């Protein structure tokens, strides 16, 4: 395990346990404190640990024009505001919340793709956020991209041949696999990336909306694949706007709003509370929706 700072490439060895640490100067932890957190994760079977995680972006805005010149300013946008959670082996965690609530930003920080502005993230293995998308090439066929994606994840050519059939079955793209990926819809491409990622059997898998694009058969195959991951003590995160999907597939749900955790608990209870909130919001009952948000924060106090 090593402590790293996004401003520096210097790493401080702590111990030999397989814990990845992301740390920032703005929210400083000393080496002993990080080591204690690492030991706690190992003792409690925690696979993902976040402590007071903040994420802030600097966004450029256009100001008023003066003498023909546009004045450009920057302002801060806070995507995450003090997120803390601990996720254990065998948990299937759904993330719900309206657009802009911070769901995708949280996944990117937990996966190590983006350093937090403040806070600490520890994981027991490298999370995979449908991690082969960068390797897939639009001019190649789906079949060729399956092979490319599996090779990019480190599989030998012999293993690639065996796993290729698993990916083909799970993706359920049939004859489309012989066509270039540039002809795929966004949903088809997401299904192929998901199928390749699951074939790698990662210890921690993070899925951002990819399962919302399939038919009933694809959903059932996806459920079986992730049940197998959970049974082997894996951990899965799923972002979805479909609360019903979270209720049916997940064991736990976290409701985010404006970058904060509103509720964290059993998937069935959180998904139903969120669905009623979202229904009122869609109907224009903003006051009722805000009251439901406050009630959820009290009922599922984190």
What token pair was written down for 33? 């404190």
**Burial level of 5, CB count in 10 A (0-12/13-18/19+)?**
middle
Q: Higher confidence at residue 24 or residue 177?
A: 177
Rounding to the nearest 10 degrees, give the CA dihedral for residues 15, 19, 20, 25.
Answer: -60
Secondary structure, 3-state, the chain: CEEEECCEEEEEECCCCCCEEECECCECCCHHHHHHHHHHHHHHCEEEEEEEEEEEEEEEEEEEEECCEEEEEEEEEEEEEEEEEEEECCCEEEEECCCCCCHHHHHHHHCCCCCCCEEEEEECCCCEECCCCCCCCCCCEHHHHHHHHHHHCCCCHHHHHHHHHHHHHHHCCHHHHHCEHHHCCHHHHHHHHHHHHHHCCCCEEEEECHHHHCCHHHHHHHHHHHHHHHHCCCEEEEECCCHHHHHHHCCEEEEEECCEEEEEEEHHHHHHHHHHHHHHHHCCCHHHHHHHHHHHHHHCCC
Using one digit for the tens of pLDDT, what is the confidence trace for 221-243? Answer: 777 777 777 777 689 899 888 89
**Residue 74 pLDDT > 90, yes or no?**
no
Q: What are phi and psi of 173, to 5 degrees?
A: -95, -10
| Band (121; pLDDT cuts 50, 70, 90) | very high
For 28-59, give one letter per residue: b (16+ CB within 10 A) or e: ebeeeebbebbeebeeeebbbbbbebbbbeee
- Cα 152–Cα 155–Cα 159 angle in degrees, nearest 5: 135
Predicted local confidence at residue 5, as pLDDT:
39
42-71 pLDDT tens trace = 657 889 999 999 999 887 766 555 555 556
In this prediction, residues 35-43 reach a mean pLDDT of 62
Query: Are 144 and 208 a contacting pair, CB within 8 Å?
Result: no
Helix axes 186-199, 157-171, angle to 10 degrees: 130
Strand partners for 175: none
| Residue-wise pLDDT tens digits, 147-184 | 988 888 788 888 998 888 889 988 888 899 999 999 99
Share of the chain above pLDDT 90, in %: 40
Question: β-strands 252-257, 260-266: how paired?
Answer: antiparallel
The dihedrals phi and psi of 190, each to the nearest 5 degrees, come to: -65, -40
| pTM more than 0.85 | no
For the chain, how many residues are written? 302
pLDDT (tens digit per residue) in 122-149: 998 888 886 445 567 999 999 999 998 8
**Longest alpha-carbon distance in the chain:** 67
User: What does the alpha-carbon distance between residue 14 and residue 59 come to, in Å, rounded to a whole number?
Assistant: 36
């Amino acid at each position: 395990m090593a402590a790293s700072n996004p401003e520096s490439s210097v790493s401080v060895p702590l111990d030999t346990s397989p814990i990845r640490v992301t740390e920032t100067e703005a929210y400083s932890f000393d080496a002993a404190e990080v080591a204690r957190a690492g030991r706690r994760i190992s003792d409690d079977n925690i696979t993902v640990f976040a402590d007071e995680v903040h994420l802030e972006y600097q966004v450029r805005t256009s100001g008023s024009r003066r003498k023909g010149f546009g004045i450009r300013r920057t302002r801060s946008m806070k995507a995450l505001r003090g997120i803390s959670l601990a996720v254990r082996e065998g948990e299937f965690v759904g993330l719900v919340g309206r657009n802009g609530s911070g769901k995708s930003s949280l996944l990117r920080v937990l996966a190590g793709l983006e350093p937090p502005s403040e806070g600490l993230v520890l994981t027991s293995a490298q999370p995979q956020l449908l991690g082969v998308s960068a390797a897939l090439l639009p001019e190649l066929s789906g079949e060729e991209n399956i092979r490319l994606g599996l090779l990019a994840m480190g599989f030998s050519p012999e293993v690639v041949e065996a796993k290729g059939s698993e990916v083909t079955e799970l993706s359920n793209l049939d004859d489309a696999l012989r066509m270039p990926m540039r002809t795929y819809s966004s949903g088809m491409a997401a299904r192929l990336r998901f199928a390749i990622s699951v074939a790698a059997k990662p210890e921690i898998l993070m899925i951002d909306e990819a399962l919302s694009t399939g038919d009933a058969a694809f959903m059932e195959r996806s459920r079986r694949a992730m049940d197998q991951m959970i049974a082997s003590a894996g951990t899965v995160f799923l972002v979805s706007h479909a609360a019903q999907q979270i209720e049916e597939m997940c064991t736990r749900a976290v409701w985010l709003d404006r970058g904060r955790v509103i509720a964290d608990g059993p998937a069935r209870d959180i998904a139903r509370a969120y669905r009623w909130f979202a229904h009122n919001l869609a109907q224009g009952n903003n006051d009722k929706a805000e009251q439901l948000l406050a009630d959820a924060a009290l009922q599922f106090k984190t």
